[in-house]
Amino acid sequence: MSEQTISGQPNSSNGQLTQVRVPLEDAAFAFSQRDETGRLPIIVLPRRVSRIQVALILYAAIILAAALLLDEPVDNAWLLPLSILVAIVLVVLAVFRSFIVQIPEGANGLLARGGRYIRTIGSGSQFVMPNINVSHLVTRRIIPFDVPVSEAPTRDDVRASIDTLLTFSIDDPYKFIYNISADDFDKVLQASCQDALRTLIRSLTAEEVVNLQRKDTKELMATITKDVEPYGVTIHHIVITFAQPPAEFIHSQEARQLAVVQMVAEEEQQRLAMQRQKGTAELARQKVLSDSATEALRLEELQDQLKKFPTASQFDLQRARIQVAQALAGNTRAMLQVGRVDDIPQALILRDSLQDQEAAPADDGKDASQTQ
């Protein structure tokens, strides 16, 4: 059992739960005094000191003795009776104080007589017979307890570390004091929590361990509660403060996630490129359809015009041929290719018409000179 004095010097112990032994009147201060590791005691053992105020009885004896010695020399009739009265008052006060026990706030006191438990009393001033002692003071505060687990194997055989903080209270001091010590309960609670946590980690994969801090701990708390109930202890909360696989596994997972993100980004880029390609092809198709529709409309209008003016097309054709012939006539090196037999008369007609057109300006000049 881990035990320290009021000065804060503990016995060697690696546990988180401790107790101290101090006089009963110093118990309130002891419950608030941390040791060098920051631990607050959960149990105070009052030193076996009689609650009768011996100093007051000693003062009464001195006063009475002095009155007896000075009675004859002083020859004062009221000195001895007054001294006896004062001595009686001091003795009564000394004895009466032994009936009052002061239990610190936030603690319960266990009473015993001859080493046997009698009952448990609460905080405040309590009337207790002088032959009954306060054997233990047990805190009622909520007690935090840290449980680390390292290198626990997961379901996929990855070593994970986890840290858990639970809070508990001692609701039945009698069960706790007379069934286990503070140091032994420290070991029992550590073992129970670590076994439950290792079982939990063994049921998870390494990836699931990363999200363990958000996991519901009701099942874990129920498992630990079964182990501590015989000692009058109630578990209030369990919080997983840290859960993480090895750093190498985290780095590999980050690299894998980065590769997945890059793959998704590349797929998204390919999808966008294909969408752009489809959009360009669709625009080209729409343009072709628009041109085709425009051309079809033009041809349809032309067809309507041809139906209304059947000879106009022949006129346009002849005019086009004349324009071509005029262009060829200006080029002495141009060669005329005749495709069909009936193209020859047409070519000759074109030639004559061109010659007539060239001669016409000359004749106009000659007529003009003769007229003059």
Closest C-alpha to 129, from 28, 24, 51, 47: 51
Closest C-alpha to 97, from 50, 64, 137, 133: 50
What is the sign, positive or negative, of the torsion defined by CA atoms of 129, 132, 136, 140? negative
DSSP label at 8? Answer: -
pLDDT at res. 27: 92
- The answer to whether residues 42 and 19 touch, using CB atoms and an 8 Å cutoff, is yes
Q: What is the pLDDT along the chain (372 residues), one digit of tens a residue?
A: 344 433 333 343 468 999 999 988 899 999 998 888 888 899 999 987 666 666 777 877 887 787 777 766 555 667 777 887 887 888 777 777 778 889 999 999 999 998 899 999 999 988 888 888 899 999 999 999 999 998 889 998 888 999 999 999 999 999 999 999 999 999 999 999 999 999 999 998 888 888 888 888 889 999 999 999 999 999 999 999 998 887 777 666 655 666 677 678 778 888 887 888 887 877 777 777 777 777 777 767 767 766 776 666 666 666 666 666 666 666 555 555 555 555 555 555 555 555 555 555 555 554 544 444
Q: Where are the alpha helices (DSSP H) in 75-181?
A: 79-97, 173-179
Closest C-alpha to 110, from 36, 27, 184: 27
Closest C-alpha to 206, from 239, 251, 164, 264: 251
Closest C-alpha to 200, from 184, 233, 222, 185: 222
* Three-state DSSP class for residue 271: helix
Residue 105 CA from chain centroid, whole number: 37
- The answer to whether residues 7 and 170 touch, using CB atoms and an 8 Å cutoff, is no
pLDDT at res. 6: 39
What does the alpha-carbon distance between residue 208 and residue 212 come to, in Å, rounded to a whole number?
6
Closest C-alpha to 44, from 5, 11, 102, 13: 5
Distances (CA, A) of 87 to 53, 76, 81, 113: 13, 18, 10, 30
- The answer to whether residues 103 and 122 touch, using CB atoms and an 8 Å cutoff, is yes
Which neighbouring-strand residues pair with 103? 124
CATH topology of domain 143-245: Tetrahydropterin Synthase; Chain A (3.30.479)
Q: What angle do CA 118, 124, 127 make, to 5 degrees?
A: 50
Neighbours of 240 (CB within 10 A): 20
Which neighbouring-strand residues pair with 145? 166
In one-letter notation, the amino acid at residue 371 is T
- The H or E element containing residue 284 is helix 247-308
What does the alpha-carbon distance between residue 96 and residue 2 come to, in Å, rounded to a whole number?
35
Residue 65 token pair:
């003795």
Instruction: Return the domain boundaries, the chain.
Output: 3-139, 143-245, 250-308, 315-358
What does the alpha-carbon distance between residue 257 and residue 270 come to, in Å, rounded to a whole number?
20
Q: Is 310 exposed, middle or buried (0-12, 13-18, 19+ CB in 10 A)?
A: exposed
